[in-house]
């Protein structure tokens, strides 16, 4: 393991106690989201907690009356148990009602948690759509996304903890009122027994968050190592190359260091916690002794003794829970702040007046002296690129790996903006168009297209998901891409589940997946078609047929093709040759062969391979 990957406890981004409270600023907004997820359930939950909060002091007070009544009747020759049994019945009724209310609260808690979890997860998915590729591919930003995405369960727990905290606060207030009424000194002993432990817990909660936050990237790597070490997609290469030992050792070293840091933190917390807990136990028994002496001195009745001892016991338990939850809430609220920081992120956009897209492309695209350097890199990928793509033209990009072909596609699609220079569509800078409307004009299939483990129907409809139920359009797109052959081979036809992740899933070969992916591009009646290495997994005959169909089906439409197979590239109207981020040649196949240079050299090398 490289030394730079390892962090000591001192390397963490430490948070002060003051910082621990900052997360609480997000709590009101958090509960506005919860209320929006289920207003009726939220109201029912609060009502139940309000009723449940006063049940402890009510039960203790009724118990005090019952005991005092028993003592009174024991010394009374004319026993009258009517009042006694009335309060016994009342206590039973309150106990049964408290149990029912508790179940009511638990039920609404779970339902609210599910609703909020679903709503917040959907919000994260939709937010990711609005962000730029620069943000999504930035490691620091991705850590924010990971913390927002992975803390869904903790946010649901936070909801329950905050609601319980409010309920507990009402219970504590009612019990404290009882103690003040009979014996105010007990409050001081109570504070001595609780407050030191609370401060200790709060400090260590901020340390736990600091450790987790500073290790976000490393924990993502641990998850990645778990994934590639035991996964059907990587199993072949892991076995073939004997990677198990390497992956396991890398995981072990990183996990061991994280364990050492968490162990040190846990030991320190336990030691300090034990010390402060001892102080709490001594304070509790000091209060117990005080109550006994007051009762023996005749200052308290037996019922009041029972009420005070029960109240102090419940109060200590409630306050321990209150302060313990307070630290958990403070810690979770910091993660909540991470979630809202992500939700509040604004796409990096320049303020421009949006202009309408042309109804029909008349001139085409123009690159004017375009330079581009990827974020976090100092090496430009494109260096002063200038060329035109005429309306209705089929232009092929050719060049060795890393020449900048796919980068040109990303710039045309506005995944990135040029570092300098302009890209124009019919004379207008493309950054002035509404991005979503602009991208709707494209039908695209990328080299690294994603294999969605959906049904075959849904995989094709990804190109225009609103038409997922349109059998005619899906069938036509499949026919154009030769994916109709794949449909015919599936037992479930279009409804066949793809991939091995889910029950009855069917895995496809690389060539079958590419035909399905090509069908996505045909789902749109797009003005501009882009094929970025779309046939790498097809044999030469299938690729030729696919491109021949593509040329015929896209007649009159602007098309961009990237391919390493020159037998198909030569079908394009013109070919642009990229070399080291600059254009070395541009022309028809015949013109480039006459000129010589990189294109002619690569064509000759490939042709020799087929002889």
Dump pLDDT digits (tens) for 344-360.
877 655 556 788 888 88
Q: Are residues 406 and 550 in the same domain?
A: yes
HSE (CB half, 13 Å, CA atoms) of 350? 10
Tell me whether residue 357 is in a domain.
Answer: no
- Rg for the chain (alpha carbons), in Å? 35
First to last CA, the chain: 47
Paired tokens of 121 = 């997860």
Q: Are residues 334 and 421 in the same domain?
A: no
Q: Are residues 369 and 450 in the same domain?
A: yes
Listed in sequence order, the residues at least 6 apart from 510 whose beta carbon sits closer than 8 Å to its beta carbon are 537
**Mean pLDDT of the region 33-55:** 87
CATH code of the domain containing 544: 3.40.50.300
Ranking 150-159, 259-268, 487-496, 557-566 by mean pLDDT, the lowest is 150-159
CA distances from 246 to 218, 236, 242, 427 (A): 17, 15, 8, 54
Give the pLDDT confidence of 428-475 residue by residue, as tens digits.
999 889 888 898 888 888 777 778 888 899 888 888 888 888 999 999
Tell me whether residue 358 is in a domain.
Answer: no
Instruction: Assess contact for 522 and 553: CB atoms under 8 A.
Output: yes
Q: Are residues 163 and 304 in the same domain?
A: yes
Tell me whether residue 146 is in a domain.
Answer: yes
Residue 530's DSSP bridge partners are: 444, 560
Question: Is a pLDDT exceeding 70 seen at residue 25?
Answer: yes
Q: Are residues 304 and 396 in the same domain?
A: no
Tell me whether residue 359 is in a domain.
Answer: no
Question: What is d(CA 323, CA 194) in angstroms, rounded to the nearest whole number?
Answer: 8
The alpha carbon of residue 116 and the mean position of all alpha carbons in its chain are separated, in whole angstroms, by 14
Q: Quote the pLDDT of residue 430.
A: 92
Confidence at 318, pLDDT banded by 50, 70, 90: confident
Q: Are residues 268 and 378 in the same domain?
A: no
Paired tokens of 516 = 């399905």
Tell me whether residue 348 is in a domain.
Answer: no
Give the pLDDT confidence of 73-107 residue by residue, as tens digits.
776 666 677 787 888 888 888 889 988 988 998 88
Tell me whether residue 379 is in a domain.
Answer: yes
Listed in sequence order, the residues at least 6 apart from 385 whose beta carbon sits closer than 8 Å to its beta carbon are 367, 369, 370, 371, 404, 408, 421, 578, 581, 582, 583
Q: Are residues 338 and 476 in the same domain?
A: no
Q: Are residues 387 and 275 in the same domain?
A: no
Give the pLDDT confidence of 237-260 residue by residue, as tens digits.
666 567 777 778 878 887 788 777
Tell me whether residue 556 is in a domain.
Answer: yes
Listed in sequence order, the residues at least 6 apart from 523 whose beta carbon sits closer than 8 Å to its beta carbon are 443, 460, 461, 462, 463, 464, 467, 473, 474, 477
Instruction: Assess contact for 201 and 324: CB atoms under 8 A.
Output: yes
Tell me whether residue 354 is in a domain.
Answer: no
For the chain, the domain total comes to 2
Q: Are residues 215 and 124 in the same domain?
A: yes
Residue range of the domain that includes 140:
3-343
Q: Quote the pLDDT of residue 3.
A: 39
Question: What is d(CA 14, CA 111) in angstroms, rounded to the nearest whole number?
Answer: 36
Q: Are residues 461 and 318 in the same domain?
A: no
Range with top average pLDDT, 149-153, 236-240, 474-478, 544-548: 474-478
Listed in sequence order, the residues at least 6 apart from 572 whose beta carbon sits closer than 8 Å to its beta carbon are 394, 395, 396, 559, 561, 589
Question: What is d(CA 529, CA 445) in angstroms, rounded to the nearest whole number?
Answer: 9
């Amino acid at each position: 393991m490289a030394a730079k990957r390892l962090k000591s406890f001192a390397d963490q981004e430490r948070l002060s106690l003051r910082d621990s409270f900052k997360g609480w600023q997000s709590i009101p907004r958090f509960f506005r989201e919860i209320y929006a997820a289920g207003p009726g359930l939220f109201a029912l939950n609060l009502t139940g907690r309000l009723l449940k909060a006063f049940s402890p002091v009510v039960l203790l007070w009724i118990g005090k009356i019952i005991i005092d009544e028993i003592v009174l009747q024991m010394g009374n020759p004319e026993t009258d148990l009517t009042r006694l049994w009335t309060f016994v019945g009342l206590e039973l009724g309150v106990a049964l009602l408290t149990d029912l209310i508790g179940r009511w609260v638990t039920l609404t808690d779970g339902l609210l948690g599910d609703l909020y979890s679903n709503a917040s997860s959907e919000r994260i998915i939709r937010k990711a759509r609005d962000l730029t590729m620069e943000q999504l591919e930035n490691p620091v930003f991705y850590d924010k996304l990971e913390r927002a995405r992975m803390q869904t369960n903790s946010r649901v727990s936070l909801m329950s903890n905050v609601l319980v905290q409010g309920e507990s606060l009402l219970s504590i207030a009612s019990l404290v009122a009882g103690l003040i009424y009979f014996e105010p000194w007990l409050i001081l002993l109570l504070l001595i027994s609780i407050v030191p432990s609370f401060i200790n817990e709060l400090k260590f909660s901020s340390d736990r968050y600091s450790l987790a936050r500073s290790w976000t990237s490393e924990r993502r790597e641990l998850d990645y190592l778990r994934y590639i070490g035991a996964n059907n997609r990587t199993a072949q290469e892991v076995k073939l190359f004997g990677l198990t030992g390497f992956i396991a050792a890398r995981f072990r070293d990183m996990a061991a260091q994280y364990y050492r840091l968490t162990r040190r933190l846990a030991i320190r917390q336990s030691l300090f916690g034990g010390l402060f807990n001892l102080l709490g136990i001594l304070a509790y028994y000091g209060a117990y002794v005080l109550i006994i002496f007051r009762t023996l001195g005749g200052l308290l009745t037996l019922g009041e003794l029972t009420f005070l001892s029960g109240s102090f016991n419940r109060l200590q338990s409630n306050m321990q829970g209150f302060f313990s939850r307070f630290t958990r809430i403070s810690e979770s609220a910091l993660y909540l702040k991470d979630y809202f920081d992500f939700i509040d992120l604004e796409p990096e956009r320049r303020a421009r007046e949006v202009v309408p897209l042309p109804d029909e492309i008349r001139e085409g695209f123009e690159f004017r002296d375009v330079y581009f350097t990827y974020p976090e890199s100092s090496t430009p990928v494109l260096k002063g690129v200038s060329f035109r793509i005429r309306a209705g033209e089929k232009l092929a990009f050719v060049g060795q790996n890393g020449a900048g072909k796919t980068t040109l596609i990303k710039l045309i699609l506005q995944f990135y903006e040029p570092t300098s220079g302009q890209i124009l569509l019919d004379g207008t800078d493309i950054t002035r168009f509404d991005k979503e409307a602009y991208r709707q004009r494209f039908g695209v299939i990328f080299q690294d297209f994603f294999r969605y483990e959906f049904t075959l129907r849904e995989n094709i409809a990804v190109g225009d998901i609103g038409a997922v139920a349109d059998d005619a359009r899906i069938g036509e797109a499949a026919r154009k891409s030769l994916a109709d052959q794949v449909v015919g081979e599936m037992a479930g036809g279009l409804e066949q589940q793809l991939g091995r992740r889910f029950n009855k899933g069917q895995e496809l070969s690389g060539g079958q997946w590419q035909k399905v992916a090509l069908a996505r591009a045909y789902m749109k009646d797009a003005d501009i078609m882009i094929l970025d290495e779309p046939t790498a997994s097809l044999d030469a005959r299938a690729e030729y047929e696919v491109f021949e169909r593509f040329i015929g089906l896209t007649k009159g439409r602007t098309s961009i093709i990237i391919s390493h197979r020159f037998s198909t590239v030569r079908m394009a109207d013109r070919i642009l040759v990229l070399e080291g981020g600059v254009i070395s040649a541009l022309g028809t196949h015949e013109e480039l062969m006459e000129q010589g240079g990189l294109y002619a050299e690569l064509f000759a090398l490939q042709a020799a391979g087929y002889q």
